[in-house]
Structure 1
């Protein structure tokens, strides 16, 4: 039975319980906010010229992404069994701590989904403060929690934001340094880096836009993400209901973040598959843009841009090459890697891929 976290004074919960529910809330919040645009975005863009309704639908699916910080806060608080007031407070604190809204002149502007690492920090800080306060103030909590917890957490998180962003900057500098290498090692290394990032709270799309990754480097980034989607889709089949691998295949890889923290060995098939697919991508010449680099096969953004990058060659040959790089090689490699590591070497059991909602 799942542990309940009441908010009475003196309440103590284990750090593992707190961390797991924090990560689970973050993972589900990211998936809930980003999946609509990931699935429908490219389709709606193609349909926009045919009817104004598709433009409106595209605006809706795009705007849903901006709710990610609030969704993360709400779901973290929900996982910790907070009251509706506690859920609202953590949600508000996460939104402010994300840095998604900034003051430009006299106007507040939403700039995107913010920094997900700082969002997670804000959600954790607000949750810990609520657990500490508990019910000490009784009915006055209705005033104290929104006024002090939300405001104080938001204020602290806004001051940690510039330092947290340095993590993204450091990764960006590392990725840019790889672009100076020869094509094959460059593609493999960038594929490995993006495969590691996409399953973390860091946004690969935001990172790609920030560093302006292009060409073969962008294609390799997209291939690394496709490798993770393949590994987690294959891994979750058979131990979860069909909806879990389907969600992962459609872009919800971050929902497995709690599993990765509990079982870091999941990185083994991920890095193996990413290295192999990165190597193949370098031979084929898979490219992309900074807009497509952070998506992999999500919404077919990566394959579509890779197809364009291959130039004006034979349509069928280009289609086969793109399918080979994004689907055939990643999934076959993932299946082989899972078989070797779980059946032959017995390094892990498939139960490590069971998603706990």
Structure 2
């Protein structure tokens, strides 16, 4: 049953989109987050493993298309309307880069800018609502033309300016690296814990600004701290599957929740800051390509950069990536929920069936 734009309040409209975007990210990122490291390790042992590793990595490139399709589904769009929105989202996301050199080439550059993806998705949905009553049976012609040529084109023009948000945040993070170690690790741990819970990409920021070494380690442990804090909070009101997904990095599934209740970011920030502070004495390291990752990529790569015997390395990894952030997360959750009453446990409920 088709709906009209008048049926949705501003809050409902954005909540529907954010829920769809969150689920799209979870679906696209889960393969590489959970089994990606295994296939990557086995990739050199035969074409089968190499192909499976490639498939896991390629899944993340589908985020813009999935965002558009799922968001359109939230508004009960028809099939042609759904794929038209998905088309606009891909074009305007920044995930495909065109170069006029060598006869013109198109290159996939990751999931694009998620903020721009969200804005283009919203514009495409609005466009469909506006033209629906006028195109009638010609929707199969006009819907893709309007969404691709107009909305997609607007998204491409918007992209450089919207992407400034990411580069500005990245510049701020880069300034943290010039501080003394304890303050630097504390701020980076807190910043990355919060950023991973927003539409911004910690992976893209870490890689773009060359956040490596001890700085990369602090970023990675902050990201992991967010995963475990959110997993603990979610365990109070969700099933085991959601909890496991959070441990392995699906916190963007909570985007709609964070939008409705921004105070949920407070315990995340506290957990990230405490874990970053602790890491300033442990000095875990990571390279720029992995600094924005949490569990399991972060600890795996941090392990390879450590010196010492295997036992010591395993204990250190377990301590900074699993044991301490879990303890800090429980503490932050208790303080924010039961002492200061910033949050309620119901805030962490994930509605998978919407």
Corresponding position of 2:254: 256
Does residue 1:305 correspond to 2:320, yes or no? Answer: no
Corresponding position of 2:75: 80
What is the DSSP-based 3-state SS (H/G/I as helix, E as strand, rest coil) of the residue aligned with 1:258? helix
2:3 to 2, 6, 19: 6
Within a 5 Å distance, the mapping from 1:204-353 to structure 2 comes to 204-297=202-295, 300-311=296-307, 313-353=308-348
Corresponding position of 2:164: 166
* Range that drifts further, 107-116 or 74-83: 107-116
What is the DSSP-based 3-state SS (H/G/I as helix, E as strand, rest coil) of the residue aligned with 2:290? coil
Within a 5 Å distance, the mapping from 1:198-209 to structure 2 comes to 198-209=196-207
Q: Are the equivalent residues in 1 in contact too, given 2:87–2:147 (CA < 8 A)?
A: no
Distance 1:291 1:28, change over 3 A: same
CA distance in 2, matches of 1:90, 1:167: 24
CA distance in 1, matches of 2:61, 2:234: 29
Relative to the length of structure 1, the TM-score reads 0.94
1:288-347, CA deviations, whole angstroms, 9 ceiling, x for partnerless residues?
0111111111xx211122223322x12211211111000001001111222222223333
Task: Please list every run of at least 4 consecutive aligned residues from structure 1 whose deviation after the TM superposition is greater than 3 angstroms.
Answer: 344-347
2:176 to 175, 178, 197: 178
Relative to the length of structure 2, the TM-score reads 0.95
Segments of 5+ residues of structure 2 without an aligned counterpart are: none
Instruction: Report deviation, 1:5.
Output: 6.3
1:39 to 29, 34, 37: 34
Cα RMSD over matched residues?
1.4
Q: Are the equivalent residues in 1 in contact too, given 2:257–2:347 (CA < 8 A)?
A: yes
Distance 1:179 1:137, change over 3 A: same
Instruction: Report deviation, 1:226.
Output: 0.8
Within a 5 Å distance, the mapping from 1:33-182 to structure 2 comes to 33-104=28-99, 105=101, 106-182=104-180
1:167-187, CA deviations, whole angstroms, 9 ceiling, x for partnerless residues?
111111111111111111000
Total equivalences in the alignment: 349
Instruction: Report deviation, 1:12.
Output: 4.4
Instruction: Report deviation, 1:213.
Output: 0.8
Instruction: Report deviation, 1:215.
Output: 0.7
CA distance in 2, matches of 1:217, 1:59: 29
Segments of 5+ residues of structure 1 without an aligned counterpart are: none
Distance 1:318 1:161, change over 3 A: same
Q: Are the equivalent residues in 2 in contact too, given 1:98–1:116 (CA < 8 A)?
A: yes
Q: Are the equivalent residues in 1 in contact too, given 2:68–2:85 (CA < 8 A)?
A: yes
